[in-house]
């Protein structure tokens, strides 16, 4: 119907906008389905993406395969120590083992094309000379993989503070940033401490290694109004009772309400949710368990997902994971990459909101808790941080927020 000016009435224009928004949500969900199918196909083909890229992974595999057998065995023992004795997360184990593969490859020359020196104490990155100014007689130029009787754990005789610094300098020359160097320094200290404890090293050179200070970049967060708009947008998609829309809304509400990591969210089972106490049991880094509360909006979204969305998806695929809280379109436990796409698309639908993934919602939840008056120690417990220093990063965000309020409100702020 046309109004007096020959145009559409306000009610009709509103209806057209709603229809347009509905079609856009359908297109987004179809894109989700296509990308999740691609992700499943990639995992089936063994082409999963990890930090560092396929080229870096291939390089590290090549270096590890070229290590002397006894050194490779030592690295395997160290990997088992990290995984079983220390209970570190899989990502941390892979990062630390990759760093030590790089270090041992640098020390032995494994994977290089040039001749290398094995089992030699280094000085300024070069083999130390004896009192006559000659190299030790048992040392000679060898191609990678050519090992003598003294090779193996004895190679670590060359692992001193100078060798560690030379390795970090080489990493820096290859383009590693300060944050990466800080992590690799921590990995080296962990390895040398373990090697000293098990008797492979006589002393711990890593104890003297000073790591470069990592750049602490302030996290990007949503404003409270932007976060509310993201939740409203996802709720409008869930209003159509589509199983995927219900799931996406429950994921966004739970991420923002609890501040859990994406890996923790994907690892949740149905039995981990306690609606009576309105808490969720989370298995965090290092196998540490904690209980995190959530609010009424997250409770409502979870109940709708469990009552309508999950059973519909379960029956549609025929065979699905019976215990996982959140399912992918093929019925398996949802993948972190799918969750990242859900968050990116939801935040991207809000004009002016900074692009972010699940960790951005974690930063946002922590910042809003502190701005709302929560104490730092409580936020540390909720987020599962091992040290308070990690949580203190969010205080810088709230200080900037307080400064902005002061500049706006105080008559003599300018």
Q: Where in the chain are the domains? A: 53-127+145-208, 221-409
The phi and psi torsions of 230 (rounded to 5 degrees) equal -60, -45
What are 23-64's pLDDT values in tens digits? 555 454 544 444 444 444 444 333 333 334 555 665 888 888
Residue 121 has pLDDT above 60, yes or no: no
Residue 327, helix vs strand vs coil: strand
Token pair 């590693």 is at which residue? 176
Distance CA 252, CA 255 (A): 5
Q: Which of 81, 196, 330, 359 is catalytic?
A: 359
C-alpha distances in angstroms, 31 versus 26, 35, 349, 389? Answer: 9, 6, 14, 40
What percent of the chain clears pLDDT 70, i.e. is strictly above it?
Answer: 72
What percent of the chain clears pLDDT 90, i.e. is strictly above it?
Answer: 36
Q: Which of 261, 310, 341, 363 is catalytic?
A: 261
Q: Which fold has domain 221-409?
A: hpI Integrase; Chain A (1.10.443)
Q: Which of 32, 341, 362, 363 is catalytic?
A: 362
Q: Which of 78, 96, 256, 394 is catalytic?
A: 394
Q: 249 an active-site residue?
A: no
pTM of the model: 0.65
Q: 394 an active-site residue?
A: yes
The phi and psi torsions of 115 (rounded to 5 degrees) equal -60, 150
Q: 385 an active-site residue?
A: yes
Q: 362 an active-site residue?
A: yes
C-alpha distances in angstroms, 98 versus 60, 87, 108, 273? Answer: 7, 17, 15, 36
Q: Which of 2-6, 49-53, 86-90, 139-143 has the highest mean pLDDT?
A: 86-90
Q: Which of 35, 81, 142, 285 is catalytic?
A: 285
DSSP-derived secondary structure letter, 277: T
């Amino acid at each position: 119907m046309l109004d007096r000016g020959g145009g559409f009435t306000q009610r009709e224009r509103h209806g057209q906008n709603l229809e347009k928004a509905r079609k856009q949500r359908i297109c987004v969900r179809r894109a989700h389905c296509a990308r999740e199918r691609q992700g499943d196909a990639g995992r089936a083909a063994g082409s999963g993406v990890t930090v560092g890229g396929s080229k870096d992974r291939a390089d590290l595999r090549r270096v590890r395969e070229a290590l002397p057998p006894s050194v490779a065995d030592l690295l395997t023992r160290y990997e088992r120590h990290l995984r079983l004795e220390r209970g570190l997360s899989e990502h941390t184990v892979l990062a630390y083992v990759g760093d030590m593969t790089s270090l041992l490859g640098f020390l032995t020359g494994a994977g290089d094309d040039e001749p290398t020196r094995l089992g030699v104490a280094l000085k300024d990155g070069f083999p130390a000379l004896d009192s006559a100014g000659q190299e030790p007689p048992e040392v000679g130029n060898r191609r990678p993989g050519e090992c003598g009787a003294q090779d193996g754990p004895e190679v670590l005789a060359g692992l001193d503070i100078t060798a560690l610094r030379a390795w970090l300098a080489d990493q820096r020359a290859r383009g590693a940033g300060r944050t990466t160097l800080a992590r690799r320094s921590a990995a080296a200290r962990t390895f040398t401490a373990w090697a000293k404890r098990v008797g492979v090293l006589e002393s711990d050179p890593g104890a003297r290694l000073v790591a470069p200070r990592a750049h602490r970049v302030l996290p990007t967060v949503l404003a409270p109004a932007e976060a509310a708009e993201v939740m409203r947008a996802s709720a409008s998609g869930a209003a159509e009772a589509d199983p995927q829309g219900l799931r996406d809304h429950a994921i966004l509400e739970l991420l923002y309400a609890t501040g859990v990591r994406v890996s923790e969210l994907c690892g949740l089972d149905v039995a981990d949710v306690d609606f009576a106490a309105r808490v969720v049991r989370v298995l965090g880094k290092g196998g540490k368990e904690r209980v995190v509360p959530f609010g009424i909006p997250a409770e409502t979204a979870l109940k709708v997902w469990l009552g309508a969305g999950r059973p519909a998806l379960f029956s549609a695929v025929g065979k699905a994971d019976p215990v996982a809280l959140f399912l992918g379109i093929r019925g398996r436990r949802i993948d972190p990459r799918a969750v990242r796409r859900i968050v990116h698309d939801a935040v991207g639908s809000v004009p002016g909101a900074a692009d972010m993934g699940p960790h951005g919602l974690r930063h946002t939840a922590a910042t809003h808790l502190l701005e709302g008056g929560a104490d730092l120690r409580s936020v540390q417990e909720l987020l599962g941080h091992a040290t308070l220093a990690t949580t203190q990063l969010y205080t810088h965000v709230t200080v900037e927020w307080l400064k902005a309020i002061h500049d706006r409100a105080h008559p003599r702020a300018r």
